Amino acid sequence: MTDTNLPKLKDKTKKRVGRGYGSGRGGHTSGRGQKGQKARRNINVLFEGVKVKKSLIKKLPFQRGKGKFKPGRKPIVINLKYLNVLPSGSKVDIDFLVKQKIVRKDEADVFGVKILGDGEISKKLIIKLPISKSATKKVEKAGGSVEIEKTSEIKSKKTNKK
């Protein structure tokens, strides 16, 4: 083995701005330009200048409570192609998916489950979960059925309760 085909052991480190000549980015202004706030210290990400204008944070609506810094909760997505492993004629709900070890119970209870129409399905299944329109068409084409109220029907029931 010669020294020309030795493996590379170390990557180059990032140049640290403003740390003298030895840093590889040294000299008078050290790559920060001349004067101004950016040359002197770090600026907060949310800082948008001192001109009178509404900042990004103030443009966003209020969100109060414990979960204000958590992202929006979305359901667990299962594509149709993964339901081909299930036996034909089975009723697909959260409990059944947990038994088949497709989803975890604690996550399914918190986030919910939704079936999307990616892939093809060849089994007749009875689905009792929220499902997309394209997935509904594919399930019915394969001979299965969907037994769940659509979200628009649920909303109309809530408004008609008055």
- Predicted pLDDT at 113: 93
pLDDT of residue 5: 84
Per-residue pLDDT reduced to its tens digit, 40-80: 777 877 777 776 677 777 777 776 666 677 776 789 999 99
In the chain, % of residues over pLDDT 90: 39
Please give the C-alpha separations between residue 62 and each of 42, 52, 57, in angstroms, as whole numbers. Answer: 28, 21, 9
pTM equals 0.50
Task: State residue 93's pLDDT score.
Answer: 92
Q: Indicate the domain borders of the chain.
A: 14-63, 76-160
Query: Which of 67, 126, 124 shows the shortest CA–CA distance to 93?
Result: 126
Q: What kind of fold does domain 76-160 have according to CATH? A: Ribosomal Protein L15; Chain: K; domain 2 (3.100.10)
HSE value, Cβ hemisphere, 13 Å, CA-based, for 11: 3
